[in-house]
Amino acid sequence: MKIQSIANLIEEYAPYSTGVPGDKLGLLAGDPDADAAGVVTCWSPTLAVLDEAARLGANMVISHEPLTWRVCGRDPEANLEWYSERHPTAKIPNQKRMQFIFAHGLSVYRYHSNWDWAPNYGMVDMLAKRLDLGTTVEGEAFAPVYVIPPTTARDLLLQARKNLQTGPFRVVGDPERVVTRVAICQGGFGQMFTFAEVALRGGAKLAFFGEMLDYTIRYCVATNLSVIELGHYTSEDPGMLGMCEFLRERLPHDIPVTHVHSGEPWDYLPQEYPLGTGESK
């Protein structure tokens, strides 16, 4: 079975037309006509993920996030340049990833906005399952709202930590607030200052965000939207587990499909660490 034939299965289920116009989807690097030896799904195709794919003998990597970093310090439309920046081909992380891909004969595909709202297996539906939010959905597609029994923000947080097996999570608003309408604003929507408006239009009183900016948090406070911030990766990795399930159900058994976690490359200081002293007890 060709690598492109596997891509076709995904693209028929979650067509590019269901994604955001201009979003870069599909083949990013490699040979789509190669025979598929194995598939790895992941949230971000880091060098560690690519290395694990090669170790497993897989030659197709399917990610949600981009393969390479783009130029971020310039905004041509606004004629702004915040800092001098290397061309994407000169960025060292990009060079390392591309060199590894070509050296090991990998093909990398990206399914982003078309997989966010893919039914059953996509980012939103898989996260809702993990959070036990049920299936009663209202609101707008970009921030679906789930109708749940009256529950405090604190209990929703504790449930999320248990089900997702990670944390801590940031909470915005009164932890004892009781809510019945909860939105999912996964991934990077919290990087958009006023995205809370979308959840609020659907009647949400609390939203599970992925990654949030300080400005976005303050906008939520100003609009009385309670928030549990899961983290970008934590809020979207369930959807790439969903991609793994989707392919396992459809591919021949001689093409193994494995989900590789992109990981959380940070840690939290213990509470007893005396901040500001530079020394631990």
- The reported pLDDT for the residue numbered 226 is 98
- What pLDDT does 280 receive? 41
Residue type, 146: Y
Residue 84 is predicted with a pLDDT of 87
Of 65, 104, 91, give the one whose Cα is nearest residue 243: 65
Q: Stretch 97-124: mean pLDDT, rounded?
A: 98
In this prediction, residue 281 has a pLDDT band, given cuts at 50, 70 and 90, of very low
Pairing outcome for strands 226-229 and 257-259: unpaired
pLDDT value at position 107? 98
Q: Which has more confidence, 273 or 205?
A: 205
Give the residue, 84 or 57, on which the prediction is more confident: 57
Residue 274: predicted pLDDT: 62
Q: How do residues 140-179 score in pLDDT, each as one tens digit?
A: 999 999 999 999 999 999 999 999 999 899 999 999 999 9
| Single pTM value for the model | 0.92
Q: What is the pLDDT of residue 115?
A: 98
Give me the chain's average pLDDT, please.
Answer: 94
What's the pLDDT tens digit per position in 20-57? 999 999 999 999 999 999 999 999 999 999 999 999 99
User: What is the pLDDT, as a whole number, of residue 219?
Assistant: 98
pLDDT band at 275 (very low <50, low <70, confident <90, very high): low
> Residues 207-257: pLDDT tens digits?
999 999 999 999 999 999 999 999 999 999 999 999 999 999 999 999 999
All domains of the chain, ordered by start, with CATH?
A: 3-115+238-259 (3.40.1390.30), 123-230 (3.40.1390.30)
Banded model confidence at residue 270, pLDDT cuts 50, 70, 90: confident
pLDDT of residue 271: 63
pLDDT (0 to 100) of residue 279: 47
DSSP string across the chain = -BHHHHHHHHHHHS-GGGS-TT---EEEES-TTSBP--EEEESS--HHHHHHHHHHT--EEEESS-SS----SEEGGGTEE-S----GGG-HHHHHHHHHHHHHT-EEEE--HHHHT-TTTSHHHHHHHHTT--S-EEEETTEEEEEEEEEEHHHHHHHHHHHHT----EEES-TT-EEEEEEEE-TTGGGSTTTHHHHHHTT-SEEEESS--HHHHHHHHHTT-EEEE--HHHHHHHHHHHHHHHHHTTS-TTS-EEE-----------TTS-TTSS---
Cα of 147 vs its chain's centroid, Å: 23
Instruction: Report which of 249, 211, 16 is spatially closest to residue 121, judged by C-alpha positions.
Output: 249
Predicted confidence at residue 272, as pLDDT, reads 67
